[in-house]
Chain A
Amino acid sequence: MMAEEAVSVPVAATARRRWQLPHDWRGQTAMGIALIFGAAIMLLPFLWMVATSLSRKANVSMPRTPSFWPPDPSFFNYFVATANLPIVRLYLNSLIVVGVTTTGYLFFSAIAGYAFAKGRFPGKSILFIVFLATLFIPFETRMIPLYLFMGHLKLTNTYWALILPFLAGGFGTFLMRQTISTIPDELIEAARIDGASEFRIFIQIILPLCKPTLATLAILNVIWRWNDVLWPLLVTSKRDLFTVTQGLALAGRSSGIYTGVALATAVMAILPVIVAYLFLQRYVIRSVVSSGVKG
């Protein structure tokens, strides 16, 4: 923001002296070229992937010079990929898992955050430390016993295995507590005097006031859960329960020699996320930066 204001002055100056280039046009041009070159390096693999996925020949032989336009454009590889992998089912699985975990994670984070921000009860700080301690335990540390535990509960190869471990967490609780602490007590006190129960205050007053933080948490959780591959690989081995990312990982390893088909699968797996990102990019970038946590 500040930087934009700072540079708006020379722009106004150039508008007055219409036929002169801005004094720093050399620097601006050089930076523009460098930045566009960098952006091209970011985009080229994506474009090459899409072009290759549309080429039937790519499964047999690839041109020795990379081509960004398929010589024989067709959706053949997409049909093969869909036949190999129940892709619609995979999308449905991912949507169910991501939807339920995100809803649960937001709800439990918010309600625990409310209790820690506004509640008065014995043992509050100890309980808060218990919640925060989970931040310091990487998932990888507990994945093996968790996997065996899921086996004991007969939950492997069910949606429960993909959902239950991710419903509550210290990070969301901490973020929600920080947000709810900034809500003035008077607002809650007024509702209490009107006879509202704590739960009703939570639903009708607290949640609507936390929408920006809830949106941040939702975006982060969707990115994490959609892209997670380690845990689904462990607890689900039936094709009908695969998530999109997991299906892609397994298909990529088994159909690796069929370049076109493998890349068509990859395009199908990432396209929805990228389309959603292009619509929500401002919120997505802000969420990832403000929380300092990446996917």
Chain B
Amino acid sequence: MAPGPIPSLTGSGATPSRFGRAFRNAITWYSFLLPPLLLILIFVGYPTLLTFRQSLFTETVDGDVFAGTYHFQRLLTNAVFWGAIGNTVLLGVAFLVIIIPLATVFASMLNRIRRGATPLKVIYFLPQLTSSVAVAIMFHYVFQPDWGLLNGGLRGLGVDHLPLWLSDPRYNLTGSRAAVTLLAVWAGLGYFIIVLLAGLQSIPTDLYDAAAIDGASPVQSWYYITLPSLRPTFIFLIMTGTIDALSRFGDLWTLGGPGGSPARSLQSIVMFMFQAGFESSDFSLSAASAVVFFLIVLAVTAVAFWGFLRREFKAIR
């Protein structure tokens, strides 16, 4: 394929052949895009539209009947659904409130320590590579009240009244919700530390030199330089952590089944969706909860995107 400008040879045929080449080129690009586009339309676009449709219709023997907002009314007056939303939000907030300060302290120490940072990072990151299901099975036994690793250790320290952990559905600091929050912090700490460490290492060192010359103590420079510089990292972690917490499923399902035993104390939004659809075969109610879930995640993503990520994307380009 010769490049265009050789008018003496092609003569008046130059314009149609250039158009033809552009057309052929476009066909090539479309043929590159077609297979992934079809896959996305069939397995992402189509089912998503069906979710919205399903939430507005009722399945009957005579086919689907339009139900308007009936399923949403059922959903929003359903105490179990509100319980699931409450659990998801409570577990998510407790997780972030504990893990962010903890990970900041550990990341700061890892950043300052002179020896052994790499093996320590590898160890902290280890649970991140373990599936949430395996972590849940492990912690099912760690939290066992009589002989579990945690209560056994507490007994060794001389604690008399050992908590019941996963068997206690009450809202307290040693109940099932507290147990799964400890589990999530243990599993997620490595990821939060590594991301914060990347943030710490992007802070210019001359800021610290200037502070040291001005006589700032290490604690002062940590408070006045490190923490404000980490602000974008914190926002990023809070946003991704929120979305992860909203779609929590694997570990809670393994520990408490689709109902989130004991006493639905561990049922998350996605588990409600799963149970309504696949145990009660109430696909419309399940679809309505999927729509609500979608809107919540979209709202969080939109806030993240407009408030923060847009700036980040610009920085990349």
User: Which A residues lie within 8 Å of B250 (CB)?
Assistant: 227, 229-230, 249
Binary per-residue interface labels of chain B (201-239) against chain A in the complex, 1 for a CB within 8 Å, 0 otherwise: 100110010000000001000000000000000001000
Whether the pair A2, B205 counts as a contact (CB closer than 8 A) is yes
Task: Determine how close the nearest CB of chain B comes to the CB of A98; give it in whole angstroms.
Answer: 12
- On chain B, the residues within 8 Å of A277 by CB distance are 126, 129
24 pairs of residues in contact across A and B, judged by CB atoms under 8 Å: A3-B201, A32-B115, A39-B123, A46-B126, A64-B146, A109-B36, A121-B25, A137-B48, A139-B247, A142-B50, A142-B290, A146-B47, A148-B50, A192-B1, A223-B129, A229-B253, A229-B254, A245-B131, A245-B133, A245-B134, A248-B131, A256-B140, A262-B137, A295-B128
A interface SS class: helix
Residue of A119, A248, A273, A292 touching B236 (CB-CB under 8 A): A292
Q: B79 near A: Cβ within 8 Å? A: no
Interface size range of chain A in the complex:
35 or more
A32 touching B116 by the CB < 8 A rule?
yes
Q: Which residue of A lies closest to B295 (CB)?
A: A141
Set of chain A residues within 8 Å of B152, measured between Cβ atoms:
63-66
Give the interface SS of chain B, mostly helix, strand, loop or mixed.
Answer: helix
Task: Say yes or no: A142 contacts B44, CB within 8 Å.
Answer: yes
**CA distance in complex: A178, B190 (Å):** 27
Give the residue of A62, A115, A252 whose beta carbon is less than 8 angstroms from that of B140. A252
Interface locus among B27-35, B63-71, B172-180: B27-35
Contacts of A204 in B (CB 8 A): none
Question: Interface segment, A71-79, A85-93, A167-175, A210-218?
Answer: A167-175
Given contacts A65-B155, A140-B247, A143-B290, 11 further A-B contacts (CB under 8 A): A27-B112, A45-B139, A49-B141, A66-B147, A140-B273, A144-B287, A202-B32, A252-B140, A273-B130, A277-B129, A288-B194
Contact B127 A42 (CB under 8 A): yes
Q: Does B54 contact A (CB under 8 A)?
A: yes
Question: Contact between A248 and B249 (Cβ–Cβ < 8 Å)?
Answer: no
Is B307 in the interface zone, CB < 8 Å from A? no
Flag if B47 contacts A122 (CB, 8 Å).
Answer: no
Q: Which residues of A contact B (CB under 8 A)?
A: 1-3, 6-7, 11, 27-28, 31-32, 34-36, 38-39, 41-46, 48-49, 52, 62-66, 108-109, 111-112, 114-115, 119-122, 127, 130-131, 134, 136-149, 164-165, 167-170, 173, 178, 192-193, 195, 197-199, 202, 223, 226-227, 229-230, 234, 245, 248-249, 252-253, 256, 259, 262-263, 265-266, 269-270, 273-274, 277-278, 281, 284-285, 288-289, 292-295
Chain-A contact segment, one of B12-20, B92-100, B103-111: B103-111
Collect the chain B residues with CB atoms within 8 Å of residue A111's CB: 32-33, 35-36
Contacts of A245 in B (CB 8 A): 131, 133-134
Give the distance in Å from the alpha carbon of A31 to the alpha carbon of B109 in the complex.
Answer: 6
- Which of A52, A147, A265, A269 is close to B131, meaning CB atoms less than 8 Å apart? A269
Contacts of B32 in A (CB 8 A): 111-112, 114-115, 119, 198-199, 202
User: Do B249 and A141 touch (CB < 8 A)?
Assistant: no
**Closest residue of A by beta carbon distance from B286:** A144
